[in-house]
Structure formats: C-alpha cells, structure tokens
Amino acid sequence: MRLRSALIGLLVVASLAPTALAQATPEATLGRFIALANSGELKTPEGQAMLTGEAKAMATEAKSNLSAADKVLSVSPTFAAARIVLRSGAGEEADAYFYLEKTATGWAVSAYRQMAPSGMDMMLLAEMRKQRELSPADQIAKKNLELTLSSDSQLRAWFAANRPAVVDLARVHNGAAFPPSPGVTRESHLAASLKALGLKSIDTQDSATRIVIGGSVDNTVGILLAGASGAPAINPSSYIWIEDLGDGWFLFRTT
C-alpha cells in the first residue's frame, strides 16, 4: 500500500513538473504560452495554467502565429512585460505587449496590449503617399503620420539619427538658451522645432520631459527624458511600454 501511494505521488509530481518548469521564469512562461497559443491550446488545462486575470478570460482555441519574444523586461519581483514583433507578409511590423504576474503556482500571462492605430490616419497616409507633390503643411503631416505609425524598432532608429535635435528640443523646453532671432519667442522656436522633426507636442509630467510623436487622447507614442523620479513604470492601464534608449531617454507608448 505504501509503495502504491508513493508511486501515485511520483506520477502526480511528474505530471505537474512540465507546467511548473514552464512557469519558473517570465521567459519560460512566455515561451510555453507562445507555443500553446500557436497550436490553439490556450483553453486546455495546461494553457489555462499559463494564464491569469483578463488573459485567462479572453483565451480562445484559435491558432495564433506569434514569434519568440523580442524583449522581456522585469518591472518588479512579481511583474514583467514583454514585446512580440508581429510581421505581415509584406514585411510590415507591429508590436504587441504581454504582461506577466507571479502567482502562487508560478509566472502567468495576465494581459496583452497593442497600440491601436487610427484607421483614418492609415488611410490618410496611404493617400498622401500616392500624391506626387504635397503642400508644406501636408509634408509635415505626412512626416508625423509616418512616425506615429512606426514600430518600436523604426522609432529607435529614428531617435538614434535625430538624437542631437531631440536633446536640443528638450533643453530649450526646460529653459536653455536658443539662437536669438527677431520676433522669435521660446514658444515659436519650440513649435518650429517640433514641426521640423515631425513631432506633435512637448510637455512636462511628473518631472519627466515628454515629447509626444502622435496618437489621440491617451493612445500615444513618444520619447521622454526621465526626471528625478525616474521613468514611469510599465502598466497595462497607462504606460503599456517603456524602453530605455540610453542617457535617461525612453521610448513610451500609452493606451
């Protein structure tokens, strides 16, 4: 009887071991989640064990086509965020963000977010790209739309290429001197700099200098210079992605 009980116990432990290992770290959980999502098995017992919160409620048997995580960030000892790059057949990129929480049984995917581009913006940009010539105002609008609809990798490349101008924009916003010119105020200088770069606005929030590239209402993308309190923490309800660009600068997305 004791031997039989011991064998049953070993079989139970063995059956639980793969799931336990898959939930040992955010990276392991996400890897197994992707495999189960791609095979349409998120509604199975193993799939459900990988999920919690709204992600569990939203699970379906539909098959996904997710690639491996591009980046996994530890936000706190019990919370992590990850990015998966979605690629179309035409090579276009879009970014999806996944959030993981540490539960009593290990790490589990709790939510996912994606910045929803405006259909009107996409249509407007498509029409602008068809035009042979654009007015100066439309050229500025086109540059802004292209940046707003860019992927994270494209925005990182843009920031690297335009870092000196962005740094100067933030310095002037924060009170630094700017080249004197008749009739030019600090506000008009900032407005001209924003237009030249294809950006929407610049402001200060919670000691951080925020440069908004584009978006609408709270669904925005931009670059920020962290203040004394540091960069905002990633949260699926506000800053859905924060990525370090170096020297206190961060890429951000909100929803």
What ranges make up the beta strands (E) of the chain? 71-76, 79-87, 93-103, 106-113, 201-205, 208-216, 219-225, 239-246, 249-254
Same domain, 238 and 127: yes
Give the pLDDT confidence score for residue 151 in this predicted structure: 95
Same domain, 17 and 40: yes
Count: domains in the chain = 2
Domain boundary among 113, 146, 179: 113
Domain limits at 202?
119-254
Residues paired with 73 in a beta bridge: 81
Same domain, 103 and 227: no
Same domain, 109 and 125: no
Residues paired with 202 in a beta bridge: 211
Q: What is the CATH number of the domain that holds 15?
A: 3.10.450.50
Q: Tokens at residue 212, please?
A: 């908004």
Per-residue pLDDT of the chain (255 residues), as tens digits, is 443 443 333 333 334 445 677 899 999 999 999 999 999 999 999 999 999 999 999 999 999 999 999 999 999 999 999 999 998 878 889 999 999 999 999 999 999 999 876 677 778 888 888 888 999 898 999 999 999 999 999 999 999 999 999 999 999 999 999 998 999 999 999 999 999 999 999 999 999 999 999 988 778 999 999 999 999 999 999 999 999 999 999 999 998
Same domain, 124 and 250: yes
Give the pLDDT confidence score for residue 115 in this predicted structure: 84
Give the pLDDT confidence score for residue 16 in this predicted structure: 43
Radius of gyration of the chain from its Cα atoms, rounded to whole angstroms: 23
Same domain, 133 and 192: yes
Domain boundary among 79, 113, 147: 113
d(CA 22, CA 50): 8
